[in-house]
């Protein structure tokens, strides 16, 4: 860095990225299980993909957060989507590719991707 302006631009870019993970204005929450079981199963790339896709689409009403163990280790990576006034949707065996589809279908268009949910495993 060679100037204060460069430092301020870097700070502003970092703050914009952090907003996606800030709960203060969120309407919809995407929570990724990031206990050791989730991380070992690939939860970090899944969380990064959610953050990337949400930012790319400028979804200001959605936040991404992480949590510890959700309790179903065999189905990791697990992602829970909570929307006000709606039942929580739990996605299991997530991948970055599935995360992109969940963002497009569920978060943008309001249609949960049923075949990725924990309920689909029982069928």
Question: Where do the structural domains in the chain lie, given as residue ranges?
Answer: 4-121
Q: Are strands 62-67 and 89-91 parallel, antiparallel or unpaired?
A: unpaired
Angle at 92 between CA 118 and CA 59, to 5 degrees: 110
Lookup: tokens for 101:
């589809």
Cα four-point dihedral sign 56, 62, 63, 64: negative
Lookup: tokens for 97:
């590719």
Structure pTM? 0.79
Residues 77, 99: Cα–Cα separation, whole Å: 11
Q: Domain 4-121, what architecture? A: 3-Layer(aba) Sandwich (3.40)
Interval 27-70: pLDDT, tens: 899 999 999 999 999 999 999 999 999 999 999 899 999 999 99
Interval 69-123: pLDDT, tens: 998 999 999 999 999 889 999 999 999 999 999 999 999 999 999 999 988 887 5
């Amino acid at each position: 860095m060679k100037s204060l302006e460069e430092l301020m631009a870097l700070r502003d870019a970092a703050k914009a990225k952090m907003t996606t993970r800030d709960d203060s204005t969120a309407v919809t929450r995407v929570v990724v299980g990031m206990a050791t079981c989730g991380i070992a199963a690939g939860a970090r790339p899944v969380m990064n993909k959610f953050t990337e896709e949400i930012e790319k689409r400028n979804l200001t009403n959605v936040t991404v957060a992480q949590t510890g163990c959700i309790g179903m280790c065999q189905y990791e990576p697990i992602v829970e989507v909570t929307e006000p006034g709606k039942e929580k949707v739990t996605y299991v065996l997530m991948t970055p590719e599935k995360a992109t589809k969940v963002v497009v279908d569920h978060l943008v268009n309001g249609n949960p991707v049923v075949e990725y949910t924990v309920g689909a495993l029982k069928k």
